[in-house]
Structure 1
Amino acid sequence: MNKVRIGIVGLGNMGSGHAQYLIEGQVKGAELTAVSDINPKRLKLAKEQWGDRVLTFESPEALFRSGAVDGILLCTPHYDHPRQAIDAFSCGLHVLVEKPAGVYTQQVREMNEAAAASGKVYGIMYNQRSNPLYVKLRELISSGELGEIRRTNWIITNWYRSQAYYNSGGWRATWGGEGGGVLINQDPHQLDLWQWTTGLMPKRIRAFCSFGKHRDIEVENDVTAYAEYENGATGVFVTSTYEAPGTNRFEISGDRGKIVIEDDKMTFWRLRELESEFNRTNTNAWGQPEIWKCEIPVASGGAQHKEITQNWTDAIMGGTPLLAPGEDGIKGLTLSNAMLLSTWTDNWVSLPIDEDVFYDKLQEQILFSANGKR
């Protein structure tokens, strides 16, 4: 294989963006050879832009069975990802899926199983995993530099969306169209990074979601969640889409100090010795550990979407390990499902969640929505 022939399913904002850098040859070893979309206007525009260079198909199924591609990049609505990925795997194709992996973990688990059975390369577009800030954070934590994690706190409220945004598409902010709100649409990257950088998944979650707060929508747009971990650590995740100005601050406290990421900078308040060791030996009633404030240098770069696509291409061509394996998509989705389920049941939710209960609760929301209820 000299090049990986890539097909894109869905030519909305994300699909068109991926298509552009592929057409421009910015991914070594990859070539955009086909696209599909159910909207005839988008296919017409693709033909006008790219002519005979790229084949167009009116359905994903036709594209999968065309023999024109080796791998598929799925940029379709959330609910469609698992079904289309499973179909693509059955046709012997590699798959790279846009985030989120799906709407509920039950369907994503089926997608993961199909991927494993196919033996094909399966990735997810977690482009923030290429962000040098979070790469460095993960390195510092995994190396033990921060010590055992004790607390995490992420405030991510700079997802401002006006009512005009929600009014721009009938599928937006609906249970039947998107399957959720800020957790499924805006926050998949943060929910992924929360567990990817720390290496921790909670043992249980208690969350409080508000639906249509300050906006005329039916899904969650304000969330405060509290997580507990097996090692005794705790975490808080706060997000919304109506605050202006918003905040994006990720704080991780460990036995060796505290790391804060904010305004695209990383600061490490590092203790000279482990807090646990200081506490064991200290005899001064008012003593405190010595603290060094360190501005952590972070490399420039991080090609975001292109880097994930390049990595996926390299994995197909030569077996390069994936930065964002598709199987990881279920982890962040588990967190968002747990937060919604906790709110719907007004109770703690243990992980792994009861997938059948979540599915039934989601169907209730879709039914209420169809009947004009909130």
Structure 2
Amino acid sequence: MESIIKKLRDLDAYPKINEDFYKRTFSGGIITILAAFIMSLLFFSEFRSYLHTVKETTLLVDTSRGGTLRINFDITFPAVPCTILSLDAEDISGERHFDIRHDITKKRIDVHGNEIEARKDGIGAPKIEKPLQRHGGRLEHNETYCGSCYGAETADDHCCNSCEEVREAYRKKGWALSNMDMIDQCEREGFFQKIDEEKGEGCNINGFLEVNKVAGTFHFVPGKTFHQSGFHFNDLIAFQKNNYNITHKINKLSFGEYFPGIVNPLDGVQWLQDSTSGMYQYFVKVVPTVYTDVRGRTIQSNQFSVTEHLRNLDSGHNQIIPGIFFFYDLSPVKVTFMETGISFLHFMTNVCAIVGGTFTVAGITDSFVFHGRKVVKKKILKKFG
């Protein structure tokens, strides 16, 4: 055992000097304090770098195909009632969705912006449970109600039991429903009475859309949109033409999930209508983005840039529908953000370098000062000796 201890003692790379041979000086104390301060400063600087992450940005050609694009929105219309506000979407593949109601919430707001009511039932009122007529005739005993579609039936047993279903049947036919006040279902549900009751109110609409990952458009318009001969029309234009105030505020608009550092340029943007009603257009360029954090977790999302344009109804365009329209297109270039940081072993290596380097430089400085003072003292003694 003693031989092993002796061998380990012989391996000591730090031989100790007897304290009788130490000599402590004032300059050495000052240098020690400065060395400790510099060492602490460099350590905290290195520790901060260790905690900090750096984003590396790379541009790649987007070779992905298919998939869906999620559009998140929260938009307030201070002067468009919720009863007539609808959301439509279509893309270049030919897929169209009119009067979208799923995954969205509408909130009625007063002139001061306070919420009156929140609902998810979209436009219109519930069906009439027990109306009086069946296609113009009275109900027979135990006969199930089947309301008339006023010429828009697609089959003998096609029923329109609410004002909303009549409007939808006309939309699918591509017909304009010009005399809605003559529709029994609309009259009994008080459709226009409800519009009159909500005059002066606004609407906040929020939710999300899942669309094909191709170029397309989605828009918020008063009334129901229908397609005819390559053009889009609105079933409420004849009812209230040129009187729609499409002032709006975009509280939130994003394409995909949130990731750290993302900037959505339309968040908080507000547009005030100061002329006749029109079509306010946003042309959006969506850039696919992949974000990978320092732990390796990946978020598939998108960034976008935008330009704006207003088309007035009095500019000679007869097919303009009042509302706000978002035309989006996908960039062929994908951006990747990758967080990188200093590894723990690299951090410990730098800490050791700081401690060892500071002590070495301080020792050299102390030796230079100590021997320099000795040389100066000898010269002074020789001069006066």
**TM-score of the pair, normalised by structure 2:** 0.22
Higher strand content, 1 or 2: 2
The structure carrying a bigger helix percent of its residues is 1
- Return the structure number with greater relative CO, CA threshold 8 A, min gap 6: 2
TM-score by length of 1: 0.22
